[in-house]
Each structure stands twice: as structure tokens, then as C-alpha cells.
Chain A
Amino acid sequence: MEWETVIGLEIHTQLATVSKIFSGSPTAYGAEPNTQADLVDLGYPGVLPVLNEAAVRMAVQFGLAIGAAITRRSVFARKNYFYPDLPKGYQISQYELPIVGKGHLDVMQEDGTVRRVGITRAHLEEDAGKSQHEGHTGVSAIDLNRAGTPLIEIVSEPDMRSAKEAVAYMKKVHTLVRYLGICDGNMQEGSFRCDANVSIRRKGAEKFGTRAELKNLNSFRFVEKAINHEVQRQIDILESGGQVVQETRLYDADKDETRSMRSKEEANDYRYFPDPDLLPVVLDESFIEAQRAALPELPDQKAERFQQQYGLPAYDAQLLTASREMASFYEEVARAVPAEPKLAANWVMGDFSAALNKEGLDVGASRLSAAQLGGLLRRIVDNTLSGKLAKEVFEVMWADGSDADAVIEARGLKQITDEGAIGKVLDEIIAANPKQLADYRSGKDKLFGFFVGQAMKATGGKANPALLNQLLKQKLAP
């Protein structure tokens, strides 16, 4: 039996506002528990919410970036349920009239094809606080610092057909919100997390299968693992004649399994209704146009420009534009070697990214500046360094933060480009290896490499390879 997976994501994106969505408390992460919650966040009797305009601006910018219709009159609604980290007994969200309507994102897959993912809606809402059940005996602790932090919940259409596609889409959204500067994208701190609706159906079937909602997936790796696990679980059920039940399931990263949280029957009736404490959010044309004007160059636009301006393949352009920081780092490196944009791309995506990844650093925390890397590449372009030597120099630069020229000077790594000097070395080697010379001349072409190796050994690898090859050919010629 062939099964098709159907996935839709709900991505919760914390907006990078200074203060909360309905109060003046700061949103900074990591403060002592309950020090960033004022009376509004604590749901005190008599207090009222006041909407933070910055959150509205950010939501509109997101909507414009996905080509969505911006709702001119959106309405906040109360989602009612009891939980200790939800101080008011309801979450202020948007229900029937979300601020961002239908939009889409084009997502490049691993094989280079592009799949369009529909975005149903994105709505503004407040985050809840956090309950802590571990580390306390007999009680649970509640930290309301996060309560009232602005979120947009980005709801996709069920347009994804594999865990990998879902991750690619999620990464694309992640890239986009960081480009827009509306979210710090920090998944460890919960700034960017998602729920996944997963179902399977027979290949070719039109009707969707019964879905399970996987809650609170806070890393790309977990999204992929949780979906794959859930798909297998559903296949096992259906193939053994069972039925998938609609339910909410929690992914346990430690055990790599999902387990049921609550079934459809146990689901809350949230009793949504318009929040009478807040007026509808009415946006006029000039507000929306001002947000459009404030949009930065978006990832797709930048990738397109990189292909045009630098002649890069689509794959490179995609990779280099994965974050604004990476893109501008690349552009600065490329400026140092204007004739060799592909060389710059190879280095940024290759050795440089590898070095970052090895230490788990972001571009912003790089040990080397773009100017330093550009300085190194300049010495490749002007033949001071061979590619091999350049890698060695890079390692030293990465280790101690020095400039390429200083490393070259200090270690005497400068490439030998003097014809006379290389010629002299070659003459000595040829003289010392008459048998190999004779064999080469009688047709054993492979021995060319032997002479190159000997020459490199003698020069400590510093001989300019192109020049060496050229001179050696001349000298070996009968």
C-alpha cells in the first residue's frame, strides 16, 4: 500500500517588540521569574489591555512579505480556557477576522524544485506564561514573564507532503521573519516554534485522512523526527486495520515518540467571542503603504539578485541568502574579489561555514570579519597563495584572528612564483631521477605527478602550481 503524507503547520512566532502586546512590561528573555509581568500581565481585577502598535506593524509587514491580503478591520477575540499560566482565564487572540489573510511562500526543496505552500492566515495573539512542574515538591511554579508576549500564529494550508518539505517550509518562514526583523528566531528560547497537523491518505485519494496535531515542536530536527514518527504510527494503525483518531499529541524528544495529550472529545470548547475591551484594529492605506515601504529586500528577491549580479547558481544563492547576516557577509567578501564572485561563494559556503558550524556560531559571532576573509581571497586571486596554502592560512586566521598577510609573512608561506627559482628546483629533481625521466619520456605519463610531488616537497608546497606545471612540461619534453 502506498501512502501519502499530508502536513500543515501552525508556526508561533514571537514578535521582537520591546514591550508586550497589551502592556508596557519588557519582553526580554531570561529575567528572574515574574519580574517582567505587570498588573495587566498578571490579570489583576480592573486592568485593561492596550494594543502595542509595534506588534501590528510587524504583523502587517509579515503579511505583505507573503503577498497576503491585509485585513482592514481585524478583531481581537477571547479564547477561554483555564490554566494557571493563563492569568485572565482567556487568551487574547484573533479568530474570525485575523490581521493577515491568505498568502503563500515558494519553498525550494532539497532536489532544487520549488513548491508553493499556501498560508491560510496569520493572526496576532498573546503568549501565555510558563508552568514548571519539575524542581518543586508538591507544587508547580508559574513564571508569567512570557505572558503577554506578542505572537503571530502563521497557519499553513495542508500543502506539504513529507517531513522534509515541512522543515523546508518552516526554515523559509524562519528566514523570512528574521529578514523582516520581526522575530529573533531563537528556537531554544521558544521564539519560533510550531505545531504540526499530520495525516496520511492512500496515494491518489482526494479526501484527507484523520489528522493528529503534534504540539510544541521547537527545533527543525524535532519537527522532522516527530512527523516521521507520527506518519509511521498512523501507517501502522491503518495497515493493521485500525483507525486514526483525531487528537492532540505531544512529541517527546528524549524518547523520540509522540503520545496522546487529549482526544477530540476532550478538546476545550474555547468559547471564542470578540474581546469587548479592545476596539477593532482598523488599518488605512497609508499605514499599510508605510509598512510596505519599510520592508527590507526579502530572501527571494535577494537570491534572485545574487544569481543575476554574481552569476551564482540558484543553489548557492539560496544558501547564501539564508540569513541577512550571511548574505551581507558574502557581499562584503565578494566586493574584495570583484572578478571572482564564485570563489567568494565557495569560500563562504565551504571553509568559512564549516568553521562556524564546528563551533556552533552564527555569522554575527564569527571569529573572522568579511574584510579578513576578503583579504585572504585576494591573495589567492593574485597568486600569492595556492588553494591548498590558503586553507592553511585560513586555519591560522580562524585560530588567532590575524589577517592573511600577517600569517603569510610570519610563516613564510608566500607562494613561489619566480620562474628561475622553480626552474632551478626542477632541474635538480630531474637530474636526481634519471630513470623516471627516461620512463616518462618513453610514455609513462603518470610519472608527471611524481615530479610535481617531488617539486612541492622541495618547496614546502609553496610553488605556484600553474607555473610549476608549465615549467615542468617544458623541461620534461624530449
Chain B
Amino acid sequence: MDVTLAGLAAGLKARRFSSVELTREALARAEASQGALNTLISITAESALAAAAVADQRLARGEGGPLTGVPMIHKDIFCTAGVLTTCASRMLSNFVAPYDATVVAKLRAAGMVMVGKANMDEFAMGSSNETSYYGPVMNPWDLARVPGGSSGGSAAAVAARLAPLATATDTGGSIRQPAALCGVTGIKPTYGRVSRYGMIAFASSLDQAGVITITAEDAALALTAMAGFDPKDSTSVDAPVPDYAATLAAPLAGLKVGIVKEFFGEGLASEVEGPVREVLAVLTKLGAQVREVSLPSLPLSVPTYYVVAPAECSSNLARFDGVRYGYRCKDPKDLIDLYKRSRAEGFGAEVKRRIMTGTYVLSAGYYDAYYLKAQKVRALITADFRRAFGEVDLLLGPTSPTVAFGIGDKTSDPITMYLNDIYTIGANLAGLPALSMPCGFAGGLPVGVQLIGPHFGEARLLNAAHRYQQETDWHLKAPAGFKAGFAP
């Protein structure tokens, strides 16, 4: 009961526990888990308890909604007023944000209680959470393995039941891949559905905020509160936000599910393929019709992504120059020295690699061959998806080619690491909503299945995921040594 937001809301309403008690529990778990998991960069006990007390007052007056008084964690990429906001980089290791990201403000207004800020890959660049300046995050299912990334701290924290909800961001799979590797549910909404204001930019045309939860229902509740047009973000879309929870139980009869042919080729571990294919049986039982579809340009998505994302990153990260905020090298000799050393010392290796790549592909003489060509391929990939959604309602495939790999296994070869995102990147390039949820285990490690929807198809995605989760209990499994629920 106390594993979902609905259960926690009922408990708070019935006064089985207060928000302050729930928050103390979350803080205690956070503190206790840090040594083993390192999911958090900051723990905000004082402000959390104050917010919990306010939430309790609201609840006592009969006010508040399903999120009020519930502890949560923000990925440390979201600016939080008065709180350290590091992006897991030495560059921002001293940066206290002077304002709240729109996502932060919205969840605060909904009464959620932030207990800490989640570890992540530095500036969200990575697929294993190993590029963090604050050290790697350990996967609660196997402490020798990575949680995935870049939202590794968010996924691991929810999997370890520190809090039922953590915000996350997804540029090339950074919500879905760690959700899959940690056995939790994660949704990346349509590009423009959730405001990017206050979310430190990696690749602006791909970045999208979302949420990691235990259940699709919780994701629906959170997304309803997070989504919507923001006048501060010109790329946010001015379209009404549906109540995603309202359509969760809709029948799946007649739902057309497309199996993406290109997702089931070489490179997919058979131990992952098995559980993913079993999802089809469940959906078929629920009335869905399954057919194979092809997205012929999709195999080009990794090289396309690794031109577009670094190009935008090289420009987005130019502001970190040691002049106004953030890390500044000691005793700069002159301006060039200040720039060079502040950036050389402030950024980690992966971030620097992407800045270099991005600078190169935008350079005079190379722009057409790389950036422009990548944009053309991106249009082809988007067209592939559009064609597919003319035939089917949702696309299905694995989230990640393998289960969680060992810490240090792939750090020596960036290309191998980049291939982790092979199934997730397409949705970012096309701006589509996509979700990952647990669908089984392989060798004791979680396997995730990915659902991709058409633009603004979040309601249908969550509906299908919810109905699947009503039939299965993979998502309710907690790693050994961690409680299954959240109540004190």
C-alpha cells in the first residue's frame, strides 16, 4: 500500500503517518544509503522538514492533492533556489542557484517535499553515472554495477526506496536507460511538454524533463503536475495538459502495438530480448494487436545524436567560463589563462570530449558535412516514426541492449558506452514521448521494456503501462536489503 503515491496519500489523509514522519524516514534512508549507493549530491534535511510541516498543515485543513507531503528527489540538473545545484560537475561545485526551475516550482506548489538532489553523470553526459564529479552511483540490485545514466542517482534512489519519485532528464535515454537498469518506471515526455526553464542545458533540442517512479500511475500523477506551457521557455508547447491519471484504466482492446524490427537485431542480449518479448503476450491478452514495423533510418540515430548533441553542448557549456559563477582556477595570469584553466580543471573528461566534438562539427568547412547532414538524417528518422504512427498507436522494444554492466567495464571506450543509448536516442531526435518499465529479470538484474508514443501521446503510453502493471508485479520488486514501501 505504501509503495505508491496513492497509497501514501491515503496514509497521510488517514493520519497513519504525517508528512514530517514520512520525510524523516526518507532523510534517514538517504543518509544511511549514501555510503553504499551515493545516489545524492545534497541532502536538504532542514528545508525538507520545514516543507513537510507546511504540507502537514495543508493536509490537516483538508487541502492538497495526491503529491502533497510526499518526499521526492530532484536530479541535480534542476536549479533549486538557495540550494547547491552542481550538475555533478566540479564546474558548479560551488553554485547555489538563485532561482527555482519551473519543474521545481510546480512540484513545490503541489506540496512535494524535496529531501535531496540526485547524483548524475556530469552535465548529463554519460550512460553509467560514472562521469560524476561526486563519484559513481551504485546499482541497488548489485553494488558492483552501474545504475545507468545520466539520471543514475534518480533511478537508483527510487529503486532503493529513498523516495517514491525523482525528477530526471532525458537527452538520449537518460531517464529510460537508468530506469531499465534499476527496475523502475521512467517517462520522457514529448519535447516541449515540460518546461526546460531552470534545467541546466546539455543539448537544448533534445533535453526533456521527466520523472522516475515505481508505477506508471505515479508517473501520471507527477506528470500532470509538471507539464504545461511555460512563458519562460519558448520551446514549451502551449497545449492543455490532460489529467493523465484519468485515462490509466482505459481498456487496451484494439490498441495497435508495433514491434520495432530494428530494435531486435545484433547487439541485443538474448536475456533481455526474452522478457521484452513476453510483454507482448500480456498486451495481447489485454486486447492489443501486435505487428512488426520497420524504421529503416533508425540505425543512424547514434551517429546523428553524437553530432547534434555535442554541437549544442559545445555552445551551451560556453557560459561556464569562470567569470561570473562556478569554478575559477587559482591565480589566473590573464584572461586566456582564466578561460583555459577554469574549463580544463572544472570539466571532466567526457564533457571535454563532447565539447571538442561539438566544436569540431560546427567549425567552418565541417558544418555542412556533419551538423547539417545530421539534421537531415534527423528529419529522416522523424519521418520514419511519423510513418510508423500512421500504422500503429505505440512502438515497443527493449530500453537497453543489456542489463546493468559493471562499474568500470565501459569507461575506457566511449563508443561502446555510446551504444547503450541505441534504442533510446530515436525518441529524442524525433521529440517523441517514451517510457521504460520493468518487465523481468536476467541473472537477478532488472530488464526494461520501452514504449514510444506519437507526439503528445503520453496518456496512451501511461495507460498501456498501467494496464501492464496491473497484470504483472515486476515493478513492485525491491532489491534485496531495501524495504518495499516508503512508510516509516
- Which of B8-16, B96-104, B146-154, B255-263 lies at the interface? B96-104
Interface check A46, CB cutoff 8 A: yes
Interface check B33, CB cutoff 8 A: no
Residue in chain B with minimal CB distance to A275: B204
In the bound complex, how far is the Cα of B234 from the Cα of A442, in angstroms? 95
In the bound complex, how far is the Cα of B411 from the Cα of A75, in angstroms? 39
Interface check A379, CB cutoff 8 A: no
B197:A273 contact, CB within 8 angstroms = no
B315:A273 contact, CB within 8 angstroms = yes
Residues 345-359 of A contacting B (Cβ, < 8 Å): none
Task: Specify which chain A residues have a CB less than 8 angstroms from the CB of B85 in the assembled complex.
Answer: 45
Task: Specify which chain A residues have a CB less than 8 angstroms from the CB of B198 in the assembled complex.
Answer: 46-47
B323:A277 contact, CB within 8 angstroms = no
A89:B318 contact, CB within 8 angstroms = yes
Q: How many residues of B contact A (CB 8 A)?
A: 44
Q: Can you list 25 residue pairs at the A/B interface with Cβ under 8 Å?
A: A39-B98, A39-B99, A43-B324, A45-B87, A45-B97, A45-B201, A46-B97, A46-B198, A46-B200, A48-B196, A48-B233, A48-B235, A49-B234, A50-B231, A50-B234, A78-B315, A84-B321, A84-B335, A88-B318, A90-B315, A90-B318, A142-B323, A272-B362, A273-B315, A278-B234
Task: Specify which chain B residues have a CB less than 8 angstroms from the CB of A82 in the assembled complex.
Answer: 318, 321, 339
Interface check A3, CB cutoff 8 A: no
Residues 85-109 of A contacting B (Cβ, < 8 Å): 87-90
Task: Specify which chain B residues have a CB less than 8 angstroms from the CB of A89 in the assembled complex.
Answer: 315, 317-319, 321
Task: Specify which chain A residues have a CB less than 8 angstroms from the CB of B315 in the assembled complex.
Answer: 78, 80, 89-90, 271, 273
Task: Specify which chain B residues have a CB less than 8 angstroms from the CB of A271 in the assembled complex.
Answer: 314-315, 359, 362-364, 367
B205:A276 contact, CB within 8 angstroms = yes
**Residues A43 and B319 in contact in the complex (CB < 8 Å), given A49-B234, A50-B232, A84-B335:** yes
Interface check B92, CB cutoff 8 A: yes
Interface check A29, CB cutoff 8 A: no
Residue in chain B with minimal CB distance to A80: B315
Interface check A42, CB cutoff 8 A: yes
Give residues in B with beta carbon < 8 Å to A.
78-79, 85, 87, 92, 95, 97-99, 101, 196-201, 203-205, 231-235, 311-312, 314-315, 317-321, 323-325, 335, 339, 359, 362-364, 367, 371
In the bound complex, how far is the Cα of B203 from the Cα of A49, in angstroms? 15
Task: Specify which chain B residues have a CB less than 8 angstroms from the CB of A44 in the assembled complex.
Answer: 98-99, 325
Measured CB to CB, the closest approach of chain B to A46, in angstroms, equals: 4
Task: Specify which chain B residues have a CB less than 8 angstroms from the CB of A447 in the assembled complex.
Answer: none
In the bound complex, how far is the Cα of B297 from the Cα of A95, in angstroms? 30
Cβ-closest 8 pairs across A and B: A89-B318, A271-B362, A276-B205, A276-B204, A46-B198, A43-B319, A45-B200, A46-B79
User: Which of B79, B205, B321 contacts A45 (CB under 8 A)?
Assistant: B79
Measured CB to CB, the closest approach of chain B to A374, in angstroms, equals: 51
A48:B323 contact, CB within 8 angstroms = no
Besides the known contacts A50-B233, A277-B235, 6 further A-B residue pairs in the complex with CB atoms under 8 A apart:
A46-B101, A46-B197, A48-B233, A89-B321, A276-B203, A279-B235
**Residues A80 and B371 in contact in the complex (CB < 8 Å), given A47-B197, A269-B364:** no
Residue in chain A with minimal CB distance to B99: A39
User: Which of A45, A50, A269 contacts B92 (CB under 8 A)?
Assistant: A45
In the bound complex, how far is the Cα of B233 from the Cα of A51, in angstroms? 10
Task: Specify which chain B residues have a CB less than 8 angstroms from the CB of A90 in the assembled complex.
Answer: 315, 318
Task: Specify which chain A residues have a CB less than 8 angstroms from the CB of B324 in the assembled complex.
Answer: 42-43, 87
Measured CB to CB, the closest approach of chain B to A143, in angstroms, equals: 13
Measured CB to CB, the closest approach of chain A to B230, in angstroms, equals: 9
In the bound complex, how far is the Cα of B29 from the Cα of A325, in angstroms? 73
Residues of A contacting B: mostly: loop
Task: Specify which chain B residues have a CB less than 8 angstroms from the CB of A276 in the assembled complex.
Answer: 203-205, 235, 312
Task: Specify which chain A residues have a CB less than 8 angstroms from the CB of B78 in the assembled complex.
Answer: 46
Task: Specify which chain A residues have a CB less than 8 angstroms from the CB of B231 in the assembled complex.
Answer: 50
Residue in chain A with minimal CB distance to B322: A84
**Residues A88 and B319 in contact in the complex (CB < 8 Å), given A48-B232, A50-B231:** yes
Measured CB to CB, the closest approach of chain A to B453, in angstroms, equals: 23
**Residues A80 and B234 in contact in the complex (CB < 8 Å), given A45-B200, A48-B197, A276-B312:** no
Residue in chain B with minimal CB distance to A270: B364
Measured CB to CB, the closest approach of chain A to B52, in angstroms, equals: 26
Measured CB to CB, the closest approach of chain A to B261, in angstroms, equals: 31
In the bound complex, how far is the Cα of B200 from the Cα of A43, in angstroms? 11
In the bound complex, how far is the Cα of B317 from the Cα of A405, in angstroms? 71
Measured CB to CB, the closest approach of chain B to A53, in angstroms, equals: 12
Measured CB to CB, the closest approach of chain A to B47, in angstroms, equals: 19
In the bound complex, how far is the Cα of B336 from the Cα of A84, in angstroms? 10
In the bound complex, how far is the Cα of B323 from the Cα of A87, in angstroms? 8
In the bound complex, how far is the Cα of B482 from the Cα of A273, in angstroms? 48
Task: Specify which chain B residues have a CB less than 8 angstroms from the CB of A80 in the assembled complex.
Answer: 314-315, 318, 362
In the bound complex, how far is the Cα of B101 from the Cα of A277, in angstroms? 16
In the bound complex, how far is the Cα of B362 from the Cα of A50, in angstroms? 24
In the bound complex, how far is the Cα of B319 from the Cα of A82, in angstroms? 9
Measured CB to CB, the closest approach of chain A to B221, in angstroms, equals: 25
**Residues A273 and B79 in contact in the complex (CB < 8 Å), given A44-B98, A50-B234:** no
In the bound complex, how far is the Cα of B325 from the Cα of A42, in angstroms? 10
Task: Specify which chain B residues have a CB less than 8 angstroms from the CB of A46 in the assembled complex.
Answer: 78-79, 97, 101, 197-201
Measured CB to CB, the closest approach of chain A to B394, in angstroms, equals: 27
Query: A44, A84, A272: which has the most chain B beta carbons within 10 Å?
Result: A44
Residue in chain A with minimal CB distance to B318: A89
Residue in chain A with minimal CB distance to B196: A48
In the bound complex, how far is the Cα of B372 from the Cα of A271, in angstroms? 12
User: Which of A51, A140, A142 contacts B234 (CB under 8 A)?
Assistant: A51
Task: Specify which chain A residues have a CB less than 8 angstroms from the CB of B199 in the assembled complex.
Answer: 46
In the bound complex, how far is the Cα of B339 from the Cα of A45, in angstroms? 17
Task: Specify which chain A residues have a CB less than 8 angstroms from the CB of B233 in the assembled complex.
Answer: 48, 50
In the bound complex, how far is the Cα of B314 from the Cα of A80, in angstroms? 9
Task: Specify which chain A residues have a CB less than 8 angstroms from the CB of B335 in the assembled complex.
Answer: 84, 140
In the bound complex, how far is the Cα of B321 from the Cα of A273, in angstroms? 21
Query: A39, A45, A277: which has the most chain B beta carbons within 10 Å?
Result: A45
Residue in chain B with minimal CB distance to A279: B234
In the bound complex, how far is the Cα of B311 from the Cα of A39, in angstroms? 24
In the bound complex, how far is the Cα of B232 from the Cα of A47, in angstroms? 8
Measured CB to CB, the closest approach of chain B to A282, in angstroms, equals: 12
In the bound complex, how far is the Cα of B91 from the Cα of A304, in angstroms? 62
In the bound complex, how far is the Cα of B238 from the Cα of A279, in angstroms? 13
Measured CB to CB, the closest approach of chain B to A271, in angstroms, equals: 4
Task: Specify which chain B residues have a CB less than 8 angstroms from the CB of A50 in the assembled complex.
Answer: 231-234
Residue in chain B with minimal CB distance to A81: B318
Query: B92, B98, B321: which has the most chain A beta carbons within 10 Å?
Result: B321
Task: Specify which chain A residues have a CB less than 8 angstroms from the CB of B235 in the assembled complex.
Answer: 48, 276-279
Measured CB to CB, the closest approach of chain B to A85, in angstroms, equals: 9
In the bound complex, how far is the Cα of B319 from the Cα of A42, in angstroms? 9
B319:A273 contact, CB within 8 angstroms = no
Residue in chain A with minimal CB distance to B365: A269
Task: Specify which chain B residues have a CB less than 8 angstroms from the CB of A49 in the assembled complex.
Answer: 234
Residue in chain A with minimal CB distance to B91: A45
Task: Specify which chain A residues have a CB less than 8 angstroms from the CB of B205 in the assembled complex.
Answer: 276
Task: Specify which chain B residues have a CB less than 8 angstroms from the CB of A87 in the assembled complex.
Answer: 319, 323-324
In the bound complex, how far is the Cα of B95 from the Cα of A271, in angstroms? 28
In the bound complex, how far is the Cα of B321 from the Cα of A45, in angstroms? 12
In the bound complex, how far is the Cα of B363 from the Cα of A271, in angstroms? 5
Measured CB to CB, the closest approach of chain A to B330, in angstroms, equals: 16
Measured CB to CB, the closest approach of chain B to A77, in angstroms, equals: 10
Measured CB to CB, the closest approach of chain B to A360, in angstroms, equals: 39
Residue in chain A with minimal CB distance to B199: A46
A277:B98 contact, CB within 8 angstroms = no
Query: A48, A87, A88: which has the most chain B beta carbons within 10 Å?
Result: A48
In the bound complex, how far is the Cα of B323 from the Cα of A48, in angstroms? 19
